[in-house]
Structure 1
Amino acid sequence: MDDLIQQPCLREQFYRRERRSVPAAREFVRTAVTDWGLGARMDDVLLCVSELATNALVHGVPPGRGYRLKLWLYGDGDGALRIEVHDSGGGLPAVREPGEESGRGLLLVAALADKWGVGERDPGKIVWCEFAVGA
């Protein structure tokens, strides 16, 4: 873990309001997670990135705007990989019930990530999730 912390601990990328931004965001995260040697939960991380990026596109990015994806690797021993999606849309996301036909993305994020939440941003919001990477 000490070798990982010495590498760059923040990566970020801006994406335009386009469908192709979701696979591009997954690839960006896959590269960072691989570079940081954190591949053990890669499938969970990539699924959460897909859900958060898709939610930003569908609900949080007005026409002509985009969203920012930030990855943080922090701590030592009990560190975490934090994924943040910053958008400029209004409203707060909500976890839908399992039986509802659509809108279950945050239900998946809540089930797969160790933590998740929503933070303030002006304009918009930050939806984030974290995965423990400690020993």
Structure 2
Amino acid sequence: MSQQQRFPRRRASVGASRDFVTSTLLKWELRPLVQDIKLCVSELATNALLHGVPPGREFSVGIHRGEGLVRLEVRDSGPGLPVVRQPDNDACSGRGLHLVRELADDFGIDDHVVGKTVWLVFKTPTTPEPAPS
């Protein structure tokens, strides 16, 4: 199963991308993954807006469910590749990729002729979640 959506280069797109992955995960009955993936897409969408989406272009968010995993992808059309940094304690920024790498079970960056895709993989829960009462 896969879902993908494009977002314009606007601040509101970060919240819209969180809503998109949340609704997809809930539809797939993967509530235990919602908080981590929502935080990760927020970080990756923010990075795309700040560093990867040239004016007038969009970024895309894809979420894919495979056997035992969920893969989150954020693709933009900007130049350059992101670098995971270990920020010093006083830094006000620079923690996003470090954070998402720690939350995900796997992490990578695919370089394209135009732009790049930052992807994360999360293992799905092995037991079904009980229905809310």
Same fold (TM over 0.5): yes
In the alignment, structure 1 segments of 5+ residues that lack a partner are 1-8
Q: Provide the residue aligned with 1:91 in structure 2.
A: 80
RMSD, aligned α-carbons: 1.0
Provide the rounded CA distance (Å) in 1 between the counterparts of 2:63 and 2:33: 15
Provide the rounded CA distance (Å) in 1 between the counterparts of 2:103 and 2:125: 17
Determine which of 101, 107, 110 is the counterpart of 1:119.
110
Provide the rounded CA distance (Å) in 1 between the counterparts of 2:99 and 2:48: 15
In the alignment, structure 2 segments of 5+ residues that lack a partner are 127-133
CA offsets per residue over residues 41-91 of structure 1, 9 Å max, x none?
A: 21111000000100000000000101011110012xxx2110001100111
Give the structure-2-normalised TM-score. Answer: 0.89
Determine which of 3, 27, 32 is the counterpart of 1:40.
32
Q: How does 1:14-25 map to 2 (within 5 A)?
A: 14-25=6-17
Deviation, structure 1 residue 134: 5.0
Partner-residue secondary structure (3-state), 2:113? coil
Q: Provide the residue aligned with 1:109 in structure 2.
A: 100
Give the structure-1-normalised TM-score. Answer: 0.88
Q: Do 2:81 and 2:111's aligned partners in 1 also have CA atoms closer than 8 Å?
A: no
How many pairs does the alignment contain? Answer: 124
